[in-house]
Amino acid sequence: MKSPLILTSAFVATGITVIGYLISEYASLGDPMSVAVALFIGALLSPSLITLMKGEETVSSDIKTLYVGNLPYRANESAVRSLFAEYGMVHSVRLMKDKQTGKRRGFGFVEIASADAATAIDSLNDTEFQQRTLKVREAKERPEPNGQQD
């Protein structure tokens, strides 16, 4: 089995470095097309293989998690994503479900760009969405299991 080919590409204008890992018979570090294809395919097939880093900190530090409460039970991820996308770059939407029944619990979490979080909170908190008044705030950190804290 071949060793992974580590692909790194720096974009000076944005200060972002792209690092990808690929195992392929055809990949070559000296071939720019291999690098481009590997990063593109890696992002499509397994985004976890592509890491975006800005200096020492990862891009994920530029994301805030918002708690969204009083959601209608019929609301889906797509509708919530569309609502928040009006205020900024939405990275993920998680609507919580009951483990036994699989039914929605009326709350969830939206990961949005940090720069857009305050605007989304101010604009959406106490507003009506599908006939329910939303409660939107920055999510609190979940405590470590067994009370362990770093």
Distance (Å, rounded) from C-alpha 13 to C-alpha 10?
9
Mean pLDDT for the chain overall: 74
Distance (Å, rounded) from C-alpha 64 to C-alpha 139?
8
| Res 116: pLDDT | 93
pLDDT grade for 7, boundaries at 50, 70 and 90:
very low
- Least Cα distance to 25 among 39, 9, 38, 44 occurs for 38
Q: Which domains does the chain have, with CATH numbers?
A: 5-55 (no CATH), 60-138 (3.30.70.330)
User: For the residues 89-117, what does the mean pLDDT come to?
Assistant: 93
Q: Which amino acid, residue 60?
A: S
pLDDT at 129 over 70: yes
- Least Cα distance to 110 among 73, 71, 81 occurs for 81
Which of 7-21, 55-69, 80-94, 111-125 shows the lowest mean pLDDT across its residues?
7-21
Task: Show the tokens assigned to 40.
Answer: 């593109």
3-class state of residue 49 by DSSP: helix
Output DSSP code: residue 12: T
Q: What is the pTM of this model?
A: 0.57
